[in-house]
Amino acid sequence: MRLLHLGSGSSFDSADIHPQPRQYSPDPTNYTIKKHLQIDNFLIVFIKYHDCINYEGDKILVFKDINIGILQSQKAIDPHFSDNKVYYSPIARFIPTEEGVEMAVTLCNLLTNEGNK
């Protein structure tokens, strides 16, 4: 049961209650992975969605319990949070800047250190 909805929905969810115009909600199959970084069981992906206009289509996504090969094999990567059991969904998103990358790395390091206690 979803008690609180704080943002846009995923295209992987069956009923998107807040549909957005396509230029703001990227096609999850029309992307290029620019960079990625694996930190323990966390994967940071810098991705460009070619049909999205906000932040020129750039997104920084953090995934858990996945590597780049598995993520790429699912073909579609939706940047929105989802409870879908077929596709991996990000656990966090950051502004696509160097500071955003630093925050993503910090989060992954903190979560990794917390898990190793």
| pLDDT tens, the chain, 117 aa long | 334 334 445 454 454 444 555 555 789 999 999 999 999 999 999 999 999 888 889 999 999 999 999 999 999 999 999 998 889 999 999 999 999 999 999 999 999 988 776
> Taking the complete model, does pTM exceed 0.85, yes or no?
no
Cα dihedral sign for 5, 7, 13, 15? Answer: positive
Q: Which residue has the tokens 């955003």?
A: 100
Return the structure tokens found at 24. Answer: 């703001």
* Domain chopping of the chain, boundaries: 31-115
Length of the chain: 117
Phi, psi of 92 (to 5 degrees): -160, 155
